[in-house]
Amino acid sequence: MMQPRLEFAFEVRVDIAPHLPIGRGADEQLSFTPITGGTVAGPLLTGEVLAGGGDWAVERSGTAQLEARYLLRADDGAVIDILNRGYYRASDEVIARVEAGEHVQEEEYYFRTAPVFQTDAPQHRWLAEHQFIGLARDEDGQVCVRVFVLR
């Protein structure tokens, strides 16, 4: 039986503004985090994160369900849409350390995503034709997502 194989494609480093609490009730909290820019770098794609999108998070029972939508611009000028859904879970102690700016090892919390891409640019069409997995972390005020293509 075939086993999945992951290949590192690139890392997206997303600049964010402070999150905006929206609220929803006693058992869950809805918030929005604006995306203000960033970079894309790796063996399969390089470029920038365009300012404009954001990340909606619904937290229930200590786990945040995430849905981020924003645009990338490849170095060749092609624009690529990304919808990045995932989950973030950490202890209160780890969250406090991250918010204080401390470098926290990725193994100390769960921050995983499944990005989906759309583009009509022929040279980047492969992005819209493959499944991806993201390993994310908070680092220096950015959200950094290492993106792997599932082969």
> In sequence order, what are the residues at sequence separation of 6 or more whose Cβ sits closer than 8 angstroms to the Cβ of residue 60?
27, 28
* DSSP-assigned letter for residue 95: H
On average, the pLDDT of the chain sits at 94
Positive/negative CA dihedral, 70, 72, 78, 82: negative
Q: What does the block give as tokens for 61?
A: 């029972």
- Other Cβ atoms closer than 10 A to 29: 15
Name the least confident of 37-46, 83-92, 100-109. 100-109
Q: What does the block give as tokens for 150?
A: 């599932």
- Check whether 60 has a pLDDT greater than 80: yes
Residue found by looking up tokens 């918030």 in the block: 31
- pLDDT tens, position by position, 80-104: 999 999 999 999 899 898 888 888 8
d(C-alpha 137, C-alpha 107), whole Å: 10
Q: What does the block give as tokens for 57?
A: 């998070």
pLDDT of 86: 98
pLDDT of 27: 85
Residue 141 pLDDT grade (very low, low, confident, very high; cuts 50, 70, 90): confident
pLDDT of 135: 96
- Check whether 76 has a pLDDT greater than 90: yes
Q: What does the block give as tokens for 55?
A: 């990340």
CATH fold of 6-150 reads Porin (2.40.160)
Q: Can you tell me the mean pLDDT for 92-120?
A: 91
d(C-alpha 98, C-alpha 108), whole Å: 11
- Check whether 25 has a pLDDT greater than 80: no
